[in-house]
Amino acid sequence: MNSPLRFLLQKYNRIFNPSSMSTPQDVTFVFTSFSSHFTRLLFIIFPFLFLSISQFTFITFFLNLIWFVSGIILKPCLMLIFPLTE
């Protein structure tokens, strides 16, 4: 199994392990992938920085309510459409 995370860790290990030889492509790949994940995380968190506590509580309550209701409604529907086979 060669998962993307394993591949990234192999590249990271090749860069920072003194006994191995790393190429400039390894360095570029690792740092661009880490920076892209970091920017994605910033775009997710950034809007919440401008909310007051009451707005943040309302939004999280609303999102949890959507998640809860969709789990109650969608899970039985999906179980009917895609039944588990043993």
Q: What is the pTM of this model?
A: 0.30
Alpha carbon distance 81, 7 (integer Å): 36
pLDDT at 79 over 70: yes
Element (H, E) at 30: helix 24-45
Alpha carbon distance 68, 61 (integer Å): 10
Other C-beta atoms closer than 10 Å to the C-beta of 13 total 13
* Residue from 33, 11, 31 nearest 22 by CA: 11
pLDDT in tens, 1-51: 456 666 666 666 665 565 555 555 555 665 566 566 666 666 667 766 676
Quote the pLDDT of residue 86: 47
- How many alpha carbons fall within 13 Å on the CB side of residue 73? 6
